[in-house]
Amino acid sequence: MNAAEVCNTNCNKVKVSNSGDSNSISEADVDVVQSPNDKRKYKVVVLDNGLRVLLISDLNSDPESSSECEKPCQDEQKNEDISESETDETADDVSDMEQDAIPSDGGKQECVEDGEKLAAAALCVGVGSFSDPPDIPGLAHFLEHMVFMGSEKYPDENAFDSFVRKHGGNNNACTDCERTTFCFDIERKHLKDALDIFAQFFISPLLKENSVDREINAVDSEFDMSKTSNSVIKQQLFGSLGKKGIPMGKFMWGNIESLKETPSTKGIDLYENLQIFHRHYYSAHFMTLCVQAKAPLDLMQSWVTEIFSDIPNNKTTQPSFYHVSDSFNTPDFTKLYQVVPVKNTNQLSFTWHMPCLRHLYRCKPLHYVGWLCGHEGSGSILSYLKKKSWALTVVAGNAESGWEHNSTGALFEVNITLTDEGLRNYEEVIKVVFEYLTLLREVGASEQIYNQIKLVEDNDFRWKEKVDPWDYAEHLAEAMQLYEPVDYLRGSTVLYDWTDECKFSIESVIHKLLPSNCNIMVLSPSFEAQADREEYWYKTKYLVKEVPQSLRDPTAFRPRRQLHLPPPNDFIASDFSLKDPNTLYTKEPKLILNTSRSKLWYKQDRKFKVPKVCVYFHILSPVVSTSAKSQALLDLFLDILSHNLVEVAYNAYVAQLEYEFKATNEGIIIKLRGFSHKLHKLMEIIMDRIDEFDVSDQDFHTLNEQLKKNYYNSFIKPEKLARDVRLMLLENKSWTKVHKRAFLANLRKVDLMNFVSEFKRMSHIEGYVHGNYTVEEALNMELCVRNRLRNDALPQAMLPVERVTQLPVDDSVVRVKSFHEGDTNSTVMNYFQVGPADISKFVTLELLNAIMEEPCFDILRTKEQLGYSVFSDMKNTSGIIGLTVTVSTQASKFSVKLVDEKIEEFLLEMADRLDDMAAKEFNTHRDSLIAVKRCDDSSLQEAADRLFTEIRDKTYLFDRLDKEVEELEKLDLEEVVSLFHSTLGTTEGNLRKKLSVQVVGFGEKETGVPVKAETFSAFSQSTPVDLSLCQGLATDCTVKSSPSSESSNSSDTPVTAPLATTAPLAATEDTELYDFTHLEIDPAVEGCRSFLTVDDLHKFKCGLSLHPVSKIL
- Burial per residue of 601-618, b for 16 or more beta-carbon CB atoms within 10 angstroms, e otherwise: bbbbbbbbebbbbbbbbb
Beta-strand runs (E) in 398-510: 405-406, 409-418
Alpha helices in 135-269 (DSSP H): 139-147, 159-166, 191-203, 212-226, 230-239, 256, 262-265
* Residue pair 164/171 in contact by the 8 Å Cβ criterion: yes
User: How many C-alpha atoms does 134 have within 13 Å on its Cβ side?
Assistant: 3
Residue 484 among the catalytic residues = no
Q: Which of 498, 495, 497 is nearest to 460 (CA)?
A: 495
Cα distance between residue 241 and residue 25, in whole Å: 52
Cα distance between residue 648 and residue 788, in whole Å: 18
For 860, the 3-state DSSP assignment is helix
User: How many C-alpha atoms does 880 have within 13 Å on its Cβ side?
Assistant: 18
CB-based contacts of 41, cutoff 8 Å, min separation 6? 12, 56, 57, 59, 61, 297
Cα distance between residue 443 and residue 90, in whole Å: 34
Cα distance between residue 799 and residue 766, in whole Å: 12
Give whole-number Cα distances, 16 to 24, 33, 284, 355, in Å: 10, 14, 17, 32
CB atoms within 10 A of CB 955: 12
Residue 619 sits at the vertex; the CA angle it makes with 616 and 622, to the nearest 5 degrees, is 155
Give whole-number Cα distances, 217 to 227, 824, 825, 860, 898, in Å: 16, 14, 14, 13, 17
Q: Which of 807, 867, 1001 is nearest to 885 (CA)?
A: 867
* Residue pair 203/151 in contact by the 8 Å Cβ criterion: yes
Query: φ, ψ for residue 508 (rounded to 5)?
Result: -65, -40
Indicate which residue of 84, 110, 144, 1006 is catalytic.
Answer: 144
Q: Cα-atom radius of gyration of the chain, to the nearest Å?
A: 29
For 340, the 3-state DSSP assignment is coil
Strand 52-57 to 287-293 pairing: parallel
- The residues pairing with 874 across neighbouring beta strands, listed in sequence order, are 102, 883
The full length of the chain comes to 1113
Residue 269 sits at the vertex; the CA angle it makes with 265 and 275, to the nearest 5 degrees, is 150
Residues assigned a catalytic role: 144
